[in-house]
Amino acid sequence: MAHTIAGFAADALNSLSASQVEFLQRLPKAELHAHLNGSIPLPVLRELAYEFLAENISNPAHDVALPDLVRTGVEQLQRGVVLGEIHQFFALFPAIYALTSTPDALRRAAHAVLGHFLSCSDGYPQAAYLELRTTPRETPSMNRLRYLEVVLDEVEKYPREQAALIVSLDRRMSPAVSMECVEHAIYLKKGGRRVVGIDLCGDPKAGNMDEFAQQFRTAKEAGLGITLHIAETEDCPAAETLQLLSYEPDRLGHATFLDEAAKKIVHTKEMCIEICLSSNLLCKTVPTLDDHHIRYYLGHDHPIVVCTDDILPFRNSLLGEYALLMAEPPLGLGLTEPEVEKIARMGMGCRFGQ
């Protein structure tokens, strides 16, 4: 079936009856896998781009290539991103990053993302609880600690039961930078700030995973939850997957291509799988919903949580992801209300910040 970029989740949602949609809206859902810079609502991104271009075009001292990069990137996001394969996905971020490089722009982006998930539309919030994740960046006007403080200031405007922050390490980071990020996370947590975990993300082809062992050990010892993007693409080496599992994560992002040895560890340790249906379909790591590994985990009664990943490029929503569980095949998995309710409950049970 051909889908537009917004297709999978929107088609599933449109196929449900009003009472089914209300059932999903009422369900307390946890969003545990949402990347800040991938979740900025499009109108806010457009506003940031407009201001950025006005400022940079009139300022010849600034990098001349950046306005073009931003214009092209934002146009692409507006038109709707169509990916041939997942590695093209990561090329979207330099343009977005240019727009969230000052404390004020970052604050506005974080405010909008939190508002999208947590404030009520049609009487219900998208999520009852959000663990937002982001990769601290050093820019000309912020160091990495300041980056985290700006985001935390917005997260902490919501009650503890509603919002918390996960600090992401990008696979491309040098050991010194990733350790610096972990140290900031620990420092902030010790100071009572709402950092609950550490994530590993970024292009699955990048980086050397040997270099992250000490970082995750240190984070774990400090009581932070650990979640790792793992085996997201078919070419992720099995040895790397086993190595990442040896860091004893609590949760796993995607976990699409686990072999039997990896699955055994994941089951024994009951590691929660963060499932991002639209993301996997649109990045083409999974050909159809029917082939999706969610079926395997549901069949094994293994803990999962259903999440959006990046609503900006994927044009999905948490409600839409839940609609994919409930819509009749081939639009969805055709699960019953009690089955979907059980999944939502499992997701709430996988929070770091409990």
- Site residues for ligand 6MZ per CB under 6 A: 35-38, 89, 93, 134-135, 168, 170, 201-202, 229, 232, 279, 283, 309-310
Q: Would you say 194 and 155 are in contact if contact means Cβ atoms under 8 Å apart?
A: yes
Q: Which is nearer to ligand 6MZ, 203 or 326 (CB)?
A: 203
In the complex, the smallest distance separating the C-beta of residue 90 from ligand 6MZ, rounded to whole angstroms, is 6
**CB under 8 Å to 340, separation ≥6 — which residues?**
23, 24, 27, 322, 325, 326
Q: Which is nearer to ligand 6MZ, 12 or 81 (CB)?
A: 81
Amino acid at 129: Y
Q: Which is nearer to ligand 6MZ, 201 or 255 (CB)?
A: 201
Rounded to whole angstroms, how far apart are CA atoms 30 and 194? Answer: 17
Q: Which is nearer to ligand 6MZ, 281 or 319 (CB)?
A: 281
In the complex, the smallest distance separating the C-beta of residue 223 from ligand 6MZ, rounded to whole angstroms, is 22
Q: Which is nearer to ligand 6MZ, 11 or 232 (CB)?
A: 232
How many degrees, rounded to 5, is the angle at CA 129 between CA 323 and CA 26?
Answer: 45
Q: Which is nearer to ligand 6MZ, 27 or 251 (CB)?
A: 251
In the complex, the smallest distance separating the C-beta of residue 26 from ligand 6MZ, rounded to whole angstroms, is 29
In the complex, the smallest distance separating the C-beta of residue 159 from ligand 6MZ, rounded to whole angstroms, is 22
In the complex, the smallest distance separating the C-beta of residue 282 from ligand 6MZ, rounded to whole angstroms, is 8
In the complex, the smallest distance separating the C-beta of residue 19 from ligand 6MZ, rounded to whole angstroms, is 33
In the complex, the smallest distance separating the C-beta of residue 287 from ligand 6MZ, rounded to whole angstroms, is 16
Q: Which is nearer to ligand 6MZ, 11 or 203 (CB)?
A: 203
